[in-house]
Amino acid sequence: MGNKLRKALCGLLACGLLAGLAPVSAGAAVSTPFYDVATTSWYNDAVVYVYANKLMSGVDGNFFGPDVDASRGQIVTILYRLAGEPSVTQTNAFVDVPTTAYYSSAASWANKEGIVSGYGNGVFLPDGAITREQMAIIFYRFANYQKYDVTRTKDLSVYSDNWQISSYAKDAVGWAVTTGLMNGTDSTTFNPTGLASRAVLAATLMRYCSLDSIKVPAGTVVAAKPTVIEETSVPAVSAPVVPVSSTLVSTTTLDGSTIQTPKMTFQWPVQGTVSSGYGARYIFGSTSFHRGIDIPAPLGVGIHAGAAGTVTFAGEQGSYGNLVVIDHGNGFQSYYGHNSKLLVAKGDVVQKNQVIAACGSTGRSTGNHCHFEVHYKGQVVNPMTYLPAKNDAPANQVAAVVTEAAEAPEMTQEALILAAIY
Ligand SMILES: [Zn+2]
């Protein structure tokens, strides 16, 4: 979208006209291309809204990542878009924000306007997650930047955990609750330290753009710009961040183009020989693209983490079956699909080689195997780029007694195509 059009869109957002056009009416037929957003989910309308209004896209083509934590890099990018992408002269405010990063201009802008500050010492932590309290602060500062009235507040003693709200965040949380931008997680809990997922961010964005209560009533005296506080009280991300080499390697993305990423080495997840490689293949008259590699292994044997990291997803995920996703920091994530049993949970910190699941054939699968994917900054990349030439997984050992294999799905042609993709 061109800058002009985006500005026009933001104009519409500002005067509220878009609220009537947005696909948020009950039973809206508008859908998204995301496999992981069920139309029955509580966040479906919000995802439809942010997708249709080009505020958020997926973590990659067909995945929105509703349960993935929203990152600081993502939120500044979205607000920068909403602000109409004003030109930025200062482009290198942070040591950990490369000028080539998609969020580079947004981070500089957000810093200059006091909307999102760094952690001191020039550190921005673009991949860092956002707590609910921080989200309130960011939207509060953005509303002030947009010259909306942010003076309204609320007595937060209704929340039994109000003592957990940082003193510098009280005005922001009070404003967010009063305007209806944010609610407690229940009537007596605000959960200020809980992390904001991408689904929560989408819902908050939809409310920010469509609630009249956010916008300044005519004649309201706009409060002075709030003092910017260095968010030093926020603990640094505790998850291990796997060091990556400054050496770059070439790899292939889903559309077949070549990109450069830092060099990074994963351990093989399971012992076995690759039965299906990464890349395009021609099946049933159409080209499909295998997002990872398949390594057949016996039912129930351990699947190992390829590198240290934090589990960001552990559950059933459509064609992947029982899926584990590990975030390794530095932009890298690994996916392990089709497991019979999951042995970790979301939020767990795992070490390299740790057994995270038991091999299986859940989801779109034609036999017991591990489907292994590597993502770099939200893009699917070729796992072979990051694996040693020789499979270095330990000898296969039963990790969980699986008495019964998941019933094989009846394979329609579509299912077979999907099985070939996954
Ligand atoms: Zn596969």
Q: Which of 134-138, 165-169, 207-211, 220-224 has the highest mean pLDDT?
A: 134-138
Structural fold of domain 248-421: Glucose Permease (Domain IIA) (2.70.70)
In the predicted structure, residue 91 carries a pLDDT above the cut 50: yes
> Ligand 1 centre and the CA of 381: distance in Å?
13
Is the model's pLDDT at 267 over the cut of 80? yes
Contacts of 208 by beta carbon, 8 Å cutoff, 6+ apart: 139, 142, 143, 181, 214
pLDDT beyond 50 at 86: yes
pLDDT classification of 283: cutoffs 50, 70, 90:
low
pLDDT of residue 229: 35
pLDDT-based confidence at 8, cuts 50/70/90? very low
pLDDT computed for residue 410 by the predictor? 59
- Ligand 1 mean position to 293 CA, how many Å? 5
363 Cα: distance to centroid of ligand 1 (angstroms):
11
The larger pLDDT score, comparing residue 61 to residue 259, is at 259
Per-residue pLDDT at 329: 84
Of 34-43, 142-151, 245-254, 409-418, the one with minimum mean pLDDT is: 409-418
For the cut 80, the answer to whether the pLDDT of residue 355 exceeds it is yes
Query: Is residue 270 predicted with pLDDT exceeding 90?
Result: yes
Q: What are the extents of the domains in the chain?
A: 3-214, 248-421
1 Cα–ligand 1 center, Å: 34
Ion ligand 1: residues, Cβ under 5 Å: 294, 371, 422
Averaged pLDDT for residues 187-205: 91
Residue 412 is predicted with a pLDDT of: 65
pLDDT exceeds 70 at position 285: no
Question: For residue 244, how far is its CA from the centre of ligand 1 (angstroms)?
Answer: 26
